Amino acid sequence: AGHAGDVAQPKYEPLLGRYLSDDPSVFGAHIEWAKEAGIRFFVFDWWPERRSARRRIRKNLDHAANLLNNFEFAVQYETLDLKTSERKPRPDEDFNELIMTQERAERMAKHWQHIATEYASHPAYKRIDGRPVLFVYASRHVVGDAAKYFLWAKEEVARVTGVSFYLIGDEVYFNVLDRTRKGEVILKSERTANWPRLSAFDAITCYNPYDSSRKEHSGPEGLERFIADVSDLYRYYRGVAAAGGQRFFPGIIPGYDDRGVRPKAGHYIIPRQDSTGRSLLSRLFDEWSGAHLTPENDQILITSWNEWNEGTQIEPSRDALGQSPADAPGSCGQLVEQSSYGCKYLSELRRISRKYR
User: Closest Cα to residue 137, out of 251, 305, 297?
Assistant: 251
Cβ neighbours for 33, distance < 8 A, ≥ 6 positions apart: 315, 316, 329, 332, 346
pLDDT at 87: 87
What pLDDT score does 296 carry?
A: 84
* pLDDT tens sequence for the chain (357 residues): 566 666 665 688 999 999 999 898 999 999 999 999 999 999 999 999 999 999 999 999 998 888 888 999 999 999 999 999 998 999 999 999 999 999 999 999 999 999 999 999 999 999 999 999 999 999 999 999 999 999 999 999 999 999 999 999 999 999 999 999 999 999 999 999 999 999 999 999 999 999 999 999 999 999 999 999 999 999 999 999 999 999 999 999 999 999 988 989 999 999 999 999 999 999 999 999 888 988 888 899 999 999 999 999 999 999 876 544 433 444 564 333 334 799 999 999 999 988 876
> What is the CB neighbour count within 10 angstroms for residue 297?
17
Phi, psi of 187 (to 5 degrees): -95, 125
pLDDT at 324: 46
pTM of model > 0.85: yes
Domain ranges, ordered by start, for the chain: 4-356
* Cβ neighbours for 321, distance < 8 A, ≥ 6 positions apart: 10, 11
Distances (CA, A) of 175 to 1, 59, 213, 344: 29, 38, 11, 33
For residue 355, the model assigns a pLDDT of 81
Question: Rounded to an integer, what distance in angstroms lies between the CA atom of residue 14 and that of residue 213?
Answer: 29
Supply the pLDDT for residue 327: 39
Q: What's the distance, Cα to Cα, between the start and end of the chain in Å?
A: 38
CATH 1.20.1260.10 fits 4-356, yes or no: no
Cα 340 to Cα 219: distance, rounded to the nearest angstrom? 18
